[in-house]
Homo-oligomer: A and B are copies of this chain.
Amino acid sequence: MSFNTFGHIFRVTTWGESHGPALGATVDGVPPGVPITAAQIQHWLDRRKPGQNKYTTQRREADEVEILSGVFEGVTTGTPVQLMIRNTDQRSKDYSEIMEKFRPGHADITYFQKYGIRDYRGGGRSSARETAARVAAGGLARAALAQLVPGLKIAGYMVRMGRDGIDRSLFDFQQIEQNPFWCPDADAAARWAESLDALRKSGNSVGAVIEVVAQGVPAGLGAPIYAKLDTDLAAAAMSINAVKGVEIGEGMNAAGLTGIENADEIYMGNDGQPQYSSNHAGGILGGISTGQDVVLRFAVKPTSSILNPRKTITKAGEPAEIVTKGRHDPCVGIRAVPVGEAMMACVLLDHILLHRGHVGVNQGVIGVGD
């Protein structure tokens, strides 16, 4: 399993299991000279932290991050930054049943088939707990981006829970932080609260669609052909637990459009930068950013751990039934929002650093400022 690293220049290696002593991110390629404190990273971790309301798992982790290296007198030095989070509330006894049985929809069976051994406690390495390390790394990436591209903003939010989507005409960025669903539409948030409550009580769960938007991305980011900006974002999103679909701009709906409908016509803006009549492309053409908003969307499947009994087999191959009694989220999509933001931050920083190594001896007339 030697692929616990992502990124080309800004390289994040996450490590740790759900119920081991600790987990974290070894972050390499951090630009030197970035002011950073543990408190700044803690801010992002706190947003993701479980146990904050009745819609997310009741597991209570302090999730306190420690910076073990790479920072000197409050500033990054360019050496690897180790971000460690100790696991505190492990309650291993909850997981005794799944020691012998494979939970449907979980990686229990495939890890066992692949490795012949697995840390069954809470899903071990395949637990969504791993994403805490990504959020920590994302906090560091944001700090670097703040220095390198001052105007850049990243915002994640839920646009659909189950079959109930937001009304784009009610979209309000201010709303996002004001409900437990990171929902930009207050009406939808109210509906979701009700329906999720019912689902939770019935021991069921539901999926969701998350959108992450980056504003102020300079044109010219992306490394064709196989490290296009959208390629890397797709990989980043698909690597998040429970994600089954990824979209850029129009996404799957692009298939339903005609060429006339889909064309983003080009104008010259007053600021001397190209402008577009629309953004079907999601801010990326040929794998390279256009300067428009970069729009990433992904679907998270419903939580597999549910209180309704499901058929399965044991390690020995015997038929069995399983009810996953642990502390789980009825909609894991909620907690995927800060993770999606973190991945966007990491990918953008990586491509900003990459771009510097790629540009040539001359620059385009409209060229990326850099």
Minimal beta-carbon separation of A214 from chain B (angstroms): 16
In the complex the two chains form, is B359's CB within 8 Å of A357's CB? no
CA distance A355 to B29 in the complex (A): 11
CA distance A232 to B13 in the complex (A): 17
In the complex the two chains form, is B245's CB within 8 Å of A238's CB? no
In the complex the two chains form, is B15's CB within 8 Å of A267's CB? no
- The 0/1 profile, CB within 8 Å of B marked 1, for residues 185-225 of chain A is 00000000000000100001111110000000001111111
Stretch at the interface among A55-63, A112-120, A170-178: A112-120
Minimal beta-carbon separation of A28 from chain B (angstroms): 4
Contacts of A237 in B (CB 8 A): 234
List residues of A (302-340) whose CB comes within 8 Å of B's CBs. 302-306, 308, 310-313, 315-319, 333
Minimal beta-carbon separation of A352 from chain B (angstroms): 9
Interface size on A, residues (CB 8 A): 171
Q: Is A39 an interface residue (CB 8 A)?
A: no
Contacts of A348 in B (CB 8 A): none
In the complex the two chains form, is B313's CB within 8 Å of A68's CB? no
CA distance A360 to B226 in the complex (A): 26
Name the CB-closest residue of B to A125: B79
Contacts of A140 in B (CB 8 A): none
Between A and B, 5 residue pairs with Cβ closer than 8 Å are A114-B220, A209-B252, A209-B255, A226-B235, A263-B306
Give 19 new A-B contacts, CB below 8 A, not counting A259-B305, A268-B318.
Answer: A2-B357, A3-B224, A3-B226, A3-B227, A21-B67, A31-B360, A32-B360, A34-B361, A84-B84, A110-B284, A113-B291, A114-B222, A126-B224, A126-B286, A234-B238, A241-B286, A245-B247, A245-B255, A356-B357
